[in-house]
Amino acid sequence: MVREKSLEDYCQRLVAGGATHAVVTDPKLIVTSPWVRWKCQFGCADYGKHYGCPPYSPAPEDTRRNLDSYHRAILAHLQWTKGLQRGREIRNFIDNVLALERELFLDGYYRAFGFSVGPCSICEECAVLHNRPCSFRDKVRPSMESCGIDVFQTARHHGLPIDTLRTQEQTRNYYLLVLVD
């Protein structure tokens, strides 16, 4: 068991890699609710088209049970302003969180598990559309929303910015979560 770094060190690594904020949190402050998944099912054109999305992702009640079995997590925030290369910025953010999950695991936090943001974007077209297994099971992670996590309320509990967008020009806030122990 290595565990020489503090969780704040991991947060600093995320910020150095491009995250706007990263904070250590108690998973009890991560809000879940069944209605969140409805927003995926009845509001997202990608519903059922990715292995990281419903109906393939964990149900909100399973998510809550798993969250409650952890004591620490890291909530990471990426603020994106129009003009930046959004796709690349978000992919980099997701890749950094996956790398953090692996680093935590190798450092002795064997239960480390990360959540992604939005529909999976690893493949151009998801294998689920062709009834094939995922080609990247080691990299695909469910989004927080797809598991019933209320990202808006969770961000607000941590004093982090998030608002509904009225125009495409507004600043966007993306959040990722890594469960630690």
Helix (H, G, I), strand (E, B) or coil at 14: helix
Amino acid 5: pLDDT: 79
Phi, psi of 25, deg, nearest 5: -145, 165
Percent of the chain that is helix, strand, coil (3-state, to 5): 35, 15, 50
Amino acid 161: pLDDT: 94
pTM of the model: 0.90
**pLDDT digit of tens for each residue in the chain (181 aa)?**
555 679 999 999 999 988 999 999 999 999 999 999 999 889 888 888 988 889 999 999 999 999 999 999 999 999 987 655 556 777 788 888 889 999 999 999 999 999 988 887 787 888 888 999 988 888 889 999 999 999 999 999 999 999 998 987 888 899 999 999 8
Amino acid 157: pLDDT: 93
Residue-range domain boundaries for the chain: 7-179
Q: Which residues contact 129 (CB under 8 A, 6 or more apart)?
A: 49
